[in-house]
Structure 1
Amino acid sequence: MNIVHRVLGYLWYKTERLTRWMDTSMYSWNVPSVLSLVFLLYGVDIASIYWATTSTNPAPFILLALLAYPVVWIILYAYYHYKRRYLKIRQDKSYEKYSSIWAILFLLFPYVFLIIFALWLQ
């Protein structure tokens, strides 16, 4: 479970730093929204891969991903704000020494995959 905390802490820190450029980091709901959207798109990617390999209807999986979005958002928001974990991550400063490339790849991969998959279907 410690590895999950470290990975989510890394993603939280780097997403907060990357969205600071977008001038939306003053809102406390910004980072959970971005991470929840990325997890939603990973669910859509998995449903698309399932559809491409089995030729069955992916609607139940996409519906499940859409229904999971608010649940994931609430879990991330409550965990990091109720426990004040985001303040501990900022004070720790251990994530400053890590490269942002893995966070950028994690955040952009679902979009790139959906674009490639859409072009492949044409």
Structure 2
Amino acid sequence: MKLRIRGNSVRLRLTRSEVEAFGKTGSVVEQTHFAAGGVMEYGLEAVADLAACTATFDGRAIRVLAPKPAVERWVNSDDVAVATSAAGTQDGHALTVLIEKDFACLTERPGEDDSDAYPHPHPDEC
């Protein structure tokens, strides 16, 4: 799972096996290990009674929550993403949350393994 944070947006990109595991268990978690023993966790969880995607941060982990019906549709279809563009935060800022299927890169990148990525839908458009 890839995590991208830019400004007030959080984006998760899941490979085919991660989407499959998420569909079976309702959650997927990843960790990043830093120097001096620091560990940051980030994950995705399906929640039955949630109206829109949201994210929380407790100083050690980012937890993205998504409405179970929306992510079940996403897992079982060709839909590329589940998004919420204006989830409110405690201080009134808007937080954009996007959950996507991870597509293979159009340009080969040394050190990147795209073998579990979804085939790019438009490989001839670059």
TM-score, with structure 2 as normaliser: 0.26
Structure number with higher helix proportion: 1
Structure with a larger share of its residues in strand: 2
TM-score (norm 1): 0.27
Of structures 1 and 2, the larger Rg is shown by: 1
